[in-house]
Amino acid sequence: MITSETSTSKATSYEPVIGLEVHAQLLTASKMYCGCGADYADEPPNTRVCPVCLGLPGSLPVINQAAVELTIKTGLALNCSIAEATRFDRKNYFYPDLMKDYQISQYDLPLCRHGWVEIEQGDLSWRVGIRRVHLEEDTARLVHRIGPNGRPYALVDVNRSGVPLMEIVSEPEIRSADQARLYLMKLRAILQYLGACTGSMEEGSFRCDANVSVRPVGSTELGTKVEVKNMNSFRAVYRALLYEVERQRQVLESGGQIVQETRGWDDTRGVTVGQRTKEFAEDYRYFPEPDLPPLYPARAWVEEIRARLPELPDAKEERFVAHYGLSRYDAQNLVGSSATADYFEAVARQYPNAKVVANWVTGELFRLLNATQTDLGSVRISPAGLAEMLHLLDQGVVSQRLAKQVFEEMFRTGKSAREVVAEQGLTQISDLAELEAKVQEAMVAHPQSVADYRAGKKQALGFLVGQVMKSTRGKANPAVVNRLLVEKLGK
């Protein structure tokens, strides 16, 4: 027999260590250091600009108070301590999308630090530390094109330059791609609840860079880390982490060494690609921003912001379990976004059985949203509409069998349950005379089954019920059909 000693001494097993840096665009009316609108997304290029965000010499920045407030709010929601004294710093580097050739960011005195986020999977839960939350500004956007001569060129759209950006840096306490996904989903939910950020990875309002290393299981030291960039969806982050952890494991197992570097995720090929090594890492030459005053957030202001915090996902989950009697699983699913949680509650206010509501929302509604790649914001079934459908279901106007079909039609067309069943003739047939005729027909058409039933083969009943359901195209009320058949067959 192989002892466990010999089997483990051969191969070292490695565990992943992951720390995430998230950039979230803040939902303020104006930009971080000027009065330009921050709602640049649907505007024509270069129409949301002024001397400040264009980086013109002699222009002076002003701190956006709403952005500071949203960052403090976020810090509080992430259990951070809020700095009594903080300031902005210049981070110097050159790139065509950086209008001033420096970014006004925060360096050694971030607004918030030392917090944590709780993530949970089923009944397990654990904390991921938050190292810091600070404020900075977004860059302009480069649009890459190919010219008529075949040469590439880039266009600069300055609308995004100066949009408030909040950076949230975790401790290296994430241990798998799964946990990273849970962390990001929880973080995004919290930001959405706070109204701090739309949280769209696809639109780039919520971006994530991942720092990854591996180390022998049992070791408490950190291995050399690699920073992975360019992931534009939750799925991309997940895949990139699986890939990168495996790549590092293989390098180490074949006797190689990890070099500290920045790698980019190539989503099409499903690999990370080396971009620059530490040798070429930038030296940002940070120094305090001389054009902005230091900030001393008053404790009274911080406490006033704390008092205005909305109910956050964890608290909502507890309330959904306690108040509505939902399972932990359903509650977790529903509080994943404030929109979903609000939708559920709006239906539950109009329909007494909250568990049924939870089933429909996390089941059919989520399935259709997924299949059509839409979000709840554009859903055409109002909470009142779903509540009405559930009431009609209880009354037997909509049959259990056809409910999903009716719901799907409501989802597709925005029509009410009543309209759908009327138009498509899906109203359940509970009319006795009509059903009696159908039952009679089925018995006449299948004398053998009738004889079988009367001879004691009770399973023949199921067949006959099926025939009636078929001839009514599923609209018969199965309970009534069953009762009628038992009556007639018994004669």
- Residues of this chain, 154-173, that bind ligand ADP according to CB under 6 A: 169-172
- Among residues 131 and 475, whose Cβ is nearest to ligand ADP? 131
Question: What Rg do the C-alpha atoms of the chain give, in angstroms?
Answer: 30
Q: Which helix (H) or strand (E) holds 132?
A: strand 124-137
Q: For residues 334 and 341, is the Cβ–Cβ distance under 8 A?
A: yes
DSSP3 helix / strand / coil % (the chain, rounded to 5): 40, 20, 35
Q: Determine the size of the site formed for Zn ion (CB under 5 A).
A: 5
**Residue 53 interacting entry, from ligand ADP, Zn ion, none, C-beta within 5 to 8 Å by type:** Zn ion
Closest to ligand ADP by CB, 213 vs 332, is 213
Strand order in the sheet with 206-216: 81-82, 112-121, 124-137, 164-170, 14-25, 206-216, 226-231, 261-266, 271-277
With contacts defined by CB under 6 A, how many residues of the chain interact with ligand ADP? 16
Which residues 6+ apart lie within 8 Å of 395 measured at CB?
none
Closest to ligand ADP by CB, 213 or 272: 213
**Whether 321 contacts 313, CB under 8 Å:** no
223 binding partner (options Zn ion, ligand ADP, none; Cβ < 5 to 8 Å by kind):
ligand ADP
Q: Order of strands, edge to edge, in the sheet holding 287-288?
A: 102-105, 89-92, 287-288
Q: Residue 411: enclosing H or E segment and its boundaries?
A: helix 403-413
Query: Whole-number minimum distance, CB 274 to ligand ADP, in Å?
Result: 16
Intra-chain end-to-end CA distance of the chain, in Å? 71
What residues form DSSP beta bridges with 125? 120
438 binds, among Zn ion, ligand ADP, none (CB under 5 to 8 A by kind): none
Determine the interface stretch with ligand ADP among 14-22, 321-329, 407-415, 443-451 (rule: CB under 6 A). Answer: 14-22
Alpha helices, DSSP H only, in 200-324?
Answer: 234-253, 299-307, 313-324
> Measured from the CB of residue 307, what is the shortest distance to ligand ADP in angstroms?
30
Min dist. Cβ of residue 160 to Zn ion (A): 11
Burial 72-92 (b: 16+ CB within 10 A, else e): bbbbbbbebebbeebbbbbbb
3-state SS record for 56-70: CCCCCCCCCHHHHHH
* Using rule CB under 6 A, residue 115 touches ligand ADP: no
φ/ψ of 403, rounded to 5, equals -55, -45
Helix-helix angle 65-77:177-194, to 10 degrees: 130
The SS3 of residue 42 is: coil
Report the partner that residue 213 touches, choosing among ligand ADP, Zn ion, none (CB closer than 5 to 8 A by kind). Answer: ligand ADP
Smallest distance from the beta carbon of 52 to ligand ADP, in angstroms? 27
Which candidate, 392, 398, 360, places its Cα nearest to that of 379?
A: 360
Q: Is 53 in the site for Zn ion (CB under 5 A)?
A: yes
* 50 makes contact with Zn ion (CB under 5 A): yes
Identify which of residues 130 and 420 has a Cβ nearer to ligand ADP in the complex.
Answer: 130
Least Cβ distance, residue 174 to ligand ADP (angstroms): 8
Instruction: With contacts defined by CB under 5 A, name the span among 45-53, 104-112, 218-226, 413-421 that binds Zn ion.
Output: 45-53
What character string, x for contact with ligand ADP (CB under 6 A) and - otherwise, covers 204-223?
Answer: -------xxx--------xx
Residue window 12-41: x/- pattern of binding to Zn ion, with contact defined by CB under 5 A: ----------------------x-x-----
User: How many CB atoms within 10 Å of residue 221?
Assistant: 8
Residue 117 binds which entry of Zn ion, ligand ADP, none, with Cβ cut-offs from 5 to 8 Å by kind?
Answer: none
Q: Quote the least distance from Cβ 18 to ligand ADP, whole Å.
A: 6
Least Cβ distance, residue 164 to Zn ion (angstroms): 12
Q: Tell me whether residue 61 or residue 223 sits nearer to ligand ADP (CB atom).
A: 223
CB of 212 to ligand ADP, least distance (A): 6
Minimal distance, residue 304 CB to Zn ion, in Å: 29
Distance CA 198, CA 205 (A): 7
- Which residue's CB is nearer to ligand ADP, number 285 or number 308? 285
Q: Mark the segment that binds Zn ion (CB under 5 A) among 44-52, 102-110, 418-426, 469-477.
A: 44-52
Nearer to ligand ADP, 15 or 171 (CB): 171
207 binds, among ligand ADP, Zn ion, none (CB under 5 to 8 A by kind): none
**How far apart are the C-alpha atoms of 16 and 176, rounded to whole Å?**
6
Q: Mind giving me the DSSP string for 135-173?
A: EEEPPPEEEEEE-TTS-EEEEEEGGGTT-EEEEEEE-S-
Q: Which is nearer to Zn ion, 138 or 261 (CB)?
A: 138
DSSP code, position 364: I
Out of 113, 134, 225, 316, the residue judged to bind ligand ADP by CB under 6 A: 225
Minimum CB separation of residue 221 from ligand ADP in Å reads 9
Q: What is the binding site for ligand ADP (CB under 6 A)?
A: 17-21, 131, 169-172, 211-213, 222-223, 225
